[in-house]
């Protein structure tokens, strides 16, 4: 069975207090910048309209990217940035702090009237004394429903309800492994748009797992993975390897985000397909 899910309006967050940037936590910076970019994107939707989806998508990507880069430069000067919408300065791989951002996650959904399943991703990678480093702070904003999920305040979802495993995957290019899982497990497929919207559906408990294969980049999953893991949930590659960020080549093509109790059964079933 296939259903389409719409994110619920579960929380609203807006930073309205003037604070010295040096006194703000990195998670607070991520949430504030994601919120500001989301508000700008809602205004762009109103200003440009939905007549030409390409014009709207381009305007949203460009203007949100400018805002995010400007705000990060003001709030965290000296930090490196990897953005989907900016040239990649590969000297970032030698930096100790790198912001990984997606100004509009789900440009297709952003550009379609009536769609709320698009997001803004702001994540901070830090070296933390290891070559691989880690996503230490992140925020995922779902502007159309007023939600902001951040690593320092996110909570675990409620207990899983009885029934099939509810899995979300790409609406337009569902991976072959999803159909393998349907053949071997009791699975219900739930349609949701962007990567961030899918991952936050796992955090809310609307779905049990998010699976992707077939191509993504670090900015697609960095902030969602940070929030998912902060909620005590599982995030890895489809083979079970860790998600590693700030690599020279930012291509990161597959992932599994799910409830921890389902990670073993899902990974074992996926392994059996190969």
Burial class for 23, CB neighbours closer than 10 Å (0-12, 13-18, 19+): exposed
Q: Is the pLDDT of residue 215 over 50?
A: yes
Give the mean model confidence (pLDDT) for residues 91-107. Answer: 97
pLDDT in the model for residue 173 = 85
Label residue 273 by pLDDT band (50, 70, 90).
Answer: confident
Q: Is the pLDDT of residue 11 over 60?
A: no
Range in 4-18, 50-64, 201-215 the model is least confident about: 4-18
pLDDT in tens, 100-125: 999 999 999 999 999 999 999 999 99
Q: Is the pLDDT of residue 25 over 90?
A: yes
* Chain mean pLDDT for the chain: 93
Kindly report each contact of residues 38-45 with a partner whose C-beta sits within 8 Å and lies 24 or more positions away, as own/partner: 38/120, 38/141, 38/142, 38/143, 38/148, 39/143, 40/64, 40/67, 41/104, 41/110, 41/120, 41/143, 42/143, 42/144, 45/110
Taking residue 104's Cβ as centre, other Cβ atoms within 10 Å add up to 31
Higher pLDDT among residues 69 and 173, named by residue: 69
Domains annotated on the chain, with CATH: 26-150 (3.30.540.10), 165-272 (3.40.190.80)
pLDDT in tens, 137-161: 999 999 999 999 999 999 999 999 9
The overall pTM is greater than 0.85: yes
pLDDT in the model for residue 2 = 37
Taking residue 248's Cβ as centre, other Cβ atoms within 10 Å add up to 8
């Amino acid at each position: 069975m296939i259903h389409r899910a719409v994110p619920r309006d579960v929380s609203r967050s807006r930073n309205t207090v003037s604070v010295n940037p040096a006194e703000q936590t990195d998670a607070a910076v991520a949430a504030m910048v994601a919120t500001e970019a989301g508000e700008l994107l809602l205004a762009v939707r109103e200003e440009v309209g939905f007549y030409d989806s390409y014009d709207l998508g381009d305007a949203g990507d460009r203007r949100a990217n400018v805002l995010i880069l400007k705000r990060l430069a003001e709030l965290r000067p000296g930090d490196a940035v990897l953005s989907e919408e900016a040239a990649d300065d590969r000297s970032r791989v030698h930096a100790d702090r790198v912001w990984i951002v997606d100004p509009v996650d789900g440009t297709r959904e952003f550009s379609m009237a009536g769609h709320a399943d698009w997001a803004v991703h702001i994540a901070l990678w830090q070296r933390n004394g290891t070559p691989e480093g880690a996503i230490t702070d992140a925020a995922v904003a779902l502007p159309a429903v007023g939600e902001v999920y951040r690593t320092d305040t996110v909570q675990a979802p409620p207990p899983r309800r009885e029934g099939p495993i509810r899995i979300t995957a790409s609406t337009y290019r569902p991976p072959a492994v999803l159909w393998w899982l349907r053949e071997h497990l009791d699975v219900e497929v739930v349609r949701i748009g962007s990567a961030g919207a899918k991952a936050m559906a796992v955090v809310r408990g609307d779905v049990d797992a998010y699976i992707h294969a077939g191509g993504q980049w670090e900015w697609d999953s960095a902030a969602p993975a940070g929030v998912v893991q902060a909620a005590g949930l599982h995030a890895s590659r489809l083979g079970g390897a860790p998600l590693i960020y700030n690599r020279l080549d930012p291509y990161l093509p597959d992932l599994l985000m799910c409830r921890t109790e389902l990670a073993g059964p899902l990974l074992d079933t996926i392994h059996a397909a190969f």
